[in-house]
Structure 1
Amino acid sequence: MLSSVSTFLSAIVDYAGFFPPAQLSLKAAMANYAQYHASPDAWMLGRFVLPASHLEEFIALLPTFPLAQWPLSIVISQDFEPVLSRVQSLAAHNPAIALQALEFPPLTATEITALDLLPQVETFFEIPLDQDLTPYLDVLHHQGASAKIRTGGITAAAFPSAVQLYEFIFACAQAQVSFKATAGLHHPIPGEYPLTYEPESEVTTMPGFLNVALASALVYWQKITSEAGLSLLQEQSADQFLLTDSAISWNQHQLSLPELAIARKQIFRSFGSCSFVEPIAGLQAMQLLSKPEPQTRQELSSKKI
């Protein structure tokens, strides 16, 4: 594997198998995560994304899996302060839980300011793209928190345009606020893909996680114009990406290994995906990763396990 690939994509996929469109049972999602954690692809696996409302069920299932510690990103959707206190207490008393991140739905800037954030826990607030980003990002910068962008869903309308995506990335870089993406980034480069796993699923154009990550890094290092950044976000030709052991470039816009590592820490943190297999398979199709033995490339899909 190229050093540029391992540096730039390390722990980039937060596994969210419990969420649509996969929408597995919690037990099935946990089984997948444990399997991925023991696989050769574990270097690319980030946190296990879990709704706070299912934390007790998660704890009850822990003894059935061999994984000693679970790095969690907890999604809190309501009753923020009481739930935050409960999450903190449960995590503190269970050595199998490594509480690494919290994710919140869209809130007002005032509501974000009022929350007492947990120290040493990365906190992401979803930012609505149809509103002025500046007051949100100003608050996040002041709070030391991160942003979250929704990059897709189970309907075509859930996907932001390339312009919206670029404007968000640029605004985050300007405000010095890192972000994660959620949904819609199952594939390395953009293309026409099914919205769900149903046989007659509608197909729509989806963004690519390699494009988003690379555009974010180039914007962070001020190495790309707005016009070129928009073109990069829509680039569908794998041949236009040049990856060597020491750098990644697109259309003569190059980032060195140290620049890639810093960009992952300072701008694009990760993306949530209900599939871990598809991002890996996409990189294999681009010949950026070697293909493992067939029996190791599996993903549970049953909702009843």
Structure 2
Amino acid sequence: MLAIRVLLEGSIDYAGLFPPAGLDMAAAVRNYGAYRSGEAAWALGRFVLPMSRLAEFELAAGGLLPRAPTPDGWRLAVLAGSDPAGEIRTLGEFNCRHAAEGSAAVTADVVELKCDSVEDIDRAADALPSYLQAYIEVPLRDNLEDLVAAISRRGMRAKVRTGGVTPEAFPSSPQLLRFLRACIEAGVGFKATAGLHHPLRAVYRLTYADDAPTATMYGFLNLFLAAAFLRAGMDESDAAELLEEKFPQAFDVGPNHIGWRQHRLGHKELELARREAIVSFGSCSFTEPVADLELLGLLQPEEPLRGPDPRA
């Protein structure tokens, strides 16, 4: 497998329902179905939706889903709301319904929650059945290390918000680096979400509107490689520079390695980073991230992107 695939395989959780794309359910599930059968399907992760919209998803996606039993069922990442305990019951019923032979094959096996305190994390862990993988979104505050330690103790994963549709939504590089370090030191896998449509850090429009504000966004390639290199022992000052790297020429992507400046990682280090550190990132577009990789020449010719526009 090519090194870029090792780093990014199954990494893009499709969040087309959310801003700035903000698609309706029918368009989002239609896109996801097309991406699953396209030539860039290797990069596609789960379909992301709020718990409150599961019934709407069933109506919109029913005709697109394969029939159970099949290893090719859709996988969902579900965002919990204000009543996790009650919503988990609903989620269990959803999964049971779709596990029956001949039913539409889809599994909601990931749940994402926001927790501001160790007590919130413990309550969430107590309410969750063991078959669900939980991602806990934590604020980047003074108690970050305590929150990550609690997530580790309860066998869950962390989530960080890396942007949004306003400039104020983006954390500083030191804040993001602190999150990466805390997760790696605690052995906690994590995902990122928001503001990661593009591979490299640069100034971009924050929405698709012609008059949209702009801000410096983090690149998902910067983020994944910073996590991978930190896990492999990179000095924090170098990792901070990597998070802020804007020049494509600084990266070296070969069949068996990915490099940044004088640093290099092979397949084994990349595999371990994906398994033990950075798992995925949420994006309201699937075509943009992969098309940008192509434009930068970071994908091999046999890995083209095919599929409809994410806003169609």
TM tier relative to shorter chain: over 0.9
Q: Does 1:173 align with 2:175?
A: no
1:292/1:249 CA distance change after superposition, 3 Å: closer
Q: Does 1:106 align with 2:110?
A: no
Output aligned runs, 1:250-265, within 5 Å: 250-265=260-275
1:138-167 superposed Cα distances (whole Å, 9 cap, x missing partner): 110111101100001000000111111111
1:227-267 superposed Cα distances (whole Å, 9 cap, x missing partner): 11110000011111111211111122211101101110100
RMSD: 1.8
Of residues 147, 161, 166 in structure 1, which corresponds to 2:158? 147
In structure 2, C-alpha distance between the alignment counterparts of 1:124 and 1:247, rounded to whole Å:
29
Of residues 294, 305, 308 in structure 2, which corresponds to 1:298? 308
1:146 alignment partner AA? R
Tell me the equivalent position of 1:18. Answer: 17
In structure 2, C-alpha distance between the alignment counterparts of 1:252 and 1:122, rounded to whole Å:
36
Output aligned runs, 1:1-305, within 5 Å: 3-68=2-67, 69-95=73-99, 96-115=105-124, 116=126, 117-222=128-233, 224-289=234-299, 296-301=306-311
**Contact preservation (8 Å) 2:173, 2:243:** yes
Moved over 6 A (4+): 291-295
**Contact preservation (8 Å) 1:13, 1:44:** yes
In structure 2, C-alpha distance between the alignment counterparts of 1:196 and 1:257, rounded to whole Å:
35
Aligned to 1:72, the other structure's residue is in SS state: strand
Deviation at 1:134, TM superposition (A): 1.6
Deviation at 1:86, TM superposition (A): 1.1
1:219/1:293 CA distance change after superposition, 3 Å: closer
Deviation at 1:27, TM superposition (A): 0.9
Deviation at 1:126, TM superposition (A): 0.4
1:201-227 superposed Cα distances (whole Å, 9 cap, x missing partner): 1111000000100000111121x1111
**Contact preservation (8 Å) 2:40, 2:305:** no
| Length-normalised TM-score, structure 2 | 0.92
In structure 2, C-alpha distance between the alignment counterparts of 1:210 and 1:190, rounded to whole Å:
9
Deviates more, 1:118-127 or 1:284-293: 284-293
1:26 alignment partner AA? M
Identity %: 37
**Contact preservation (8 Å) 1:179, 1:269:** yes
1:117-140 superposed Cα distances (whole Å, 9 cap, x missing partner): 222322101010123212101110
1:142-200 superposed Cα distances (whole Å, 9 cap, x missing partner): 11101100001000000111111111101111111111001001001101100000111
Deviation at 1:298, TM superposition (A): 2.2
Deviates more, 1:125-134 or 1:91-100: 91-100
Say how many residue pairs are matched: 300
1:213/1:293 CA distance change after superposition, 3 Å: closer
Structure 2: which 5+ residue stretches go unaligned?
68-72, 100-104
| Length-normalised TM-score, structure 1 | 0.94
Deviation at 1:49, TM superposition (A): 0.3
Aligned to 2:78, the other structure's residue is in SS state: strand
